Structure 1
Amino acid sequence: MDEEREARMTLAALSEPGDTITGTLVARLSAAETVHLITSGDRLPNGIDPAEGELWLRRLAPRINPGQIDRILSDMERHDLRLLTPEDLDWPGELQQLGTSAPIALWLKGDPSQLSTPLPGRVTIVGARASTAYGSQVATELASELASQGRTIVSGGAYGIDGSAHRAATVSFPGSTIAVLATGLDRLYPTGHEQLFERIEQSGGLLVSELPPGSAPTRWRFLQRNRMLAALSGATVVVEAGHRSGSLNVAGQAHALGRPVGAVPGPVTSPASAGCHRLIQEGLANLIIDAQDVTDLLDSTAGFSGDRTFAYSPTRRFSRTGPDLKF
């Protein structure tokens, strides 16, 4: 393992996902030089706000652990995990569209080729954790038909809509789903989906996390995970979402990235569909009634270059003038 690769592992363990100061320093210097700044306490380069830089150093420096890399490597071997960095050929280049909030590294369990498919070949399906029977049925039908077309279903592994989409893809076309998790891949969450995650991996699918083994789930990490769900697919479809659903945040990030968004309408009396109706009303999502509508969205990204970047904000709000959506 070279110095730069080891440094990325260290930074992923020290900093939280989406840390823009870490991302800025890695882009301007290198991962190894960034780790040196943390351990040495040297002055940060110009362009970093001194007050924010001081807070960054005070937050990360105490987390340095001499045995950290050995522990991570040991956990990776024990759980059969693979490390991916931007220097690797399998690295999904579309993540760099996230700019300074792009992941420092990725840990994978399963088939890494899932990340090498063209962007229109992947679709993110998300929705409420407390889904209704209607929402679960729609998610199952959409994921099943899209997987049968050779599309890869990307979701977050949560209860509700996420789980329905993963299960349908795994049953219909084994190896056609990616679960992007907000924990280390040695402590899968939610624990009630351990068997589902095992089926995803064993059937040829993929588990992905930007957090090293040993990382626990936190609210912030779930929120930051949303940017990856948005960036890894050619389109995002929200099946069910309440007014404050985290799925709306995924839609907001996808919209900001210039990716098409779809939303499934539901009964006007259902709180579980209120967020979807809002997306459609705001003109930020196309109305989705079947898999053909999703295919049309994906086909519209066939020429997408991934050159557009944006200043990531996990708490954007929808308004009549632009992307919103708060977790």
Structure 2
Amino acid sequence: MISLHAHARLPEPDTSARVALACAGLSGNRHIGHALKAAPADEVIGRCLDGTDTGLPDEVAFRVRTLVNPGLVASVLTSTAHDGLTLLTPVDARYPAGLGRLGAAAPLILWVAGDAGLLGEEPVVITGGTRPDAQLRHEIVETATKTAQSGRTVAAAARRGVDELAAESIRAVEGRLVSVATTLRQLEPRPGEVVVSENPPYLPAVIAAQVRTPVLLAAIAEKVIVADARPGTSAYRTAVAAHALDRPLGVLGNPEHGVRGDRVSTLVDVERLV
């Protein structure tokens, strides 16, 4: 087991151990995910540190032994509490049920800012590229606004372009917004909003985390709408993940960039994505 400084008080050791694994960049690692089905996280870490059989590949066990840092974990936990953030593990009822679609690759733990209760509903995801043209901007505002006004929760990535425009549209009508972020740093949700990330907000976001965020966005969705999702972009990865996870996919604007989905332009089109 890992030991923490006294000022980092936690409800259970499993939570701190999951934070330790996330700090080591192992959230979403399938081998770790499978191991946690057989034993609590603190026990898995303890076996790695003791050199006993864990059932993990050598390279994963080595990563646990070398990168799990109790002092860092204690600091992250203290800062998490100080900043008023919520930690959610899969056993928490507020942990998004849709993340279960990722199986063993689901996040080990989530950092949440804002109203965690909003995560209980599967949202309509609206995401896209960073430079929508004037016509596409109009379609995004129209679709996001009408979706929010229909009483649905909308989700987007915490980035500029299509996602930021969708978020601003939701705020304008005081709708409910879920933002999926690579990191919670410098993000302050307003009333009726929640921001969620699987990465510790006090550590640099690695490339692997940036690749994972679009997948998490698709996983929590009831349906996904993409705009200007060019190959290689985060929005394109969300579209690919939506197909892989069997999430209904709609396309705003010109679908010439290769994203396969139903063309949407009105709220009726959005509702038909079932």
TM-score of the superposition, structure 2-length normalised? 0.90
Q: 1:83: which partner in 2? A: 87
| Deviation, structure 1 residue 166 | 0.7
Return the alpha-carbon distance in structure 2 between the equivalents of residues 148 and 13 of structure 1. Answer: 39
Q: Secondary structure at the match of 1:67?
A: helix
Q: 2:177: which partner in 1? A: 177
How many residues in Structure 1 have an aligned counterpart in Structure 2? 264
8, 11, 27: which one aligns with 2:21:
11
Return the alpha-carbon distance in structure 2 between the equivalents of residues 218 and 105 of structure 1. Answer: 17
Return the alpha-carbon distance in structure 1 between the equivalents of residues 266 and 235 of structure 2. Answer: 19
Change (3 A) 1:264 1:213: closer
Q: 2:7: which partner in 1? A: none
Q: Secondary structure at the match of 2:36?
A: helix
Return the alpha-carbon distance in structure 2 between the equivalents of residues 25 and 17 of structure 1. Answer: 12
Q: Does the 8 Å contact 2:89/2:108 carry over to 1?
A: yes
| Deviation, structure 1 residue 206 | 0.2
Does 1:218 find its partner at 2:219? no
Does 1:35 find its partner at 2:15? no
| Deviation, structure 1 residue 96 | 1.3
| Deviation, structure 1 residue 155 | 1.0
Q: 1:295: which partner in 2? A: 271
Q: 2:71: which partner in 1? A: 67
237, 243, 253: which one aligns with 1:249:
237
How many percent identity over aligned positions? 27
Q: Structure 2 matches for 1:1-327, cutoff 5 A?
A: 1-45=11-55, 48=56, 53-117=57-121, 119=122, 122-174=123-175, 176-183=176-183, 185=184, 187-188=185-186, 197-198=187-188, 201-266=189-254, 274-275=256-257, 278-279=258-259, 284-297=260-273, 300=274
Question: Match for 1:242: what amino acid?
Answer: R
Return the alpha-carbon distance in structure 2 between the equivalents of residues 150 and 171 of structure 1. Answer: 14
User: Greater shift after overlay, 206-215 or 6-15?
Assistant: 6-15
Question: Match for 1:99: what amino acid?
Answer: G
Return the alpha-carbon distance in structure 2 between the equivalents of residues 17 and 36 of structure 1. Answer: 17
Q: Which runs of 5+ in 1 are unaligned?
A: 189-196, 267-272, 301-327
CA RMSD of aligned residues (A): 1.7
Return the alpha-carbon distance in structure 1 between the equivalents of residues 26 and 113 of structure 2. Answer: 21
Superposed CA deviations along residues 154-177 of structure 1, whole A, max 9, x for unmatched, are 111111001001111111124x11
Q: Secondary structure at the match of 1:237?
A: strand
Change (3 A) 1:215 1:138: farther
Q: 1:304: which partner in 2? A: none
| Deviation, structure 1 residue 66 | 2.3
Return the alpha-carbon distance in structure 2 between the equivalents of residues 213 and 219 of structure 1. Answer: 15
Q: 1:307: which partner in 2? A: none
Q: Secondary structure at the match of 2:87?
A: strand
Change (3 A) 1:116 1:78: same
| Deviation, structure 1 residue 43 | 2.4
TM-score of the superposition, structure 1-length normalised? 0.76
Return the alpha-carbon distance in structure 1 between the equivalents of residues 252 and 154 of structure 2. Answer: 16
Return the alpha-carbon distance in structure 2 between the equivalents of residues 207 and 93 of structure 1. Answer: 16
Superposed CA deviations along residues 115-147 of structure 1, whole A, max 9, x for unmatched, are 112x3xx11111001222222222111111101
Return the alpha-carbon distance in structure 2 between the equivalents of residues 59 and 256 of structure 1. Answer: 29
Question: Match for 1:182: what amino acid?
Answer: T
Return the alpha-carbon distance in structure 1 between the equivalents of residues 168 and 137 of structure 2. Answer: 11
Moved beyond 3 Å, runs of 4+: none
Question: Match for 1:211: what amino acid?
Answer: N
Return the alpha-carbon distance in structure 1 between the equivalents of residues 249 and 178 of structure 2. Answer: 19
Q: Which runs of 5+ in 2 are unaligned?
A: 1-10
Q: Secondary structure at the match of 2:225?
A: strand
Return the alpha-carbon distance in structure 1 between the equivalents of residues 246 and 162 of structure 2. Answer: 24
Return the alpha-carbon distance in structure 2 between the equivalents of residues 68 and 214 of structure 1. Answer: 10
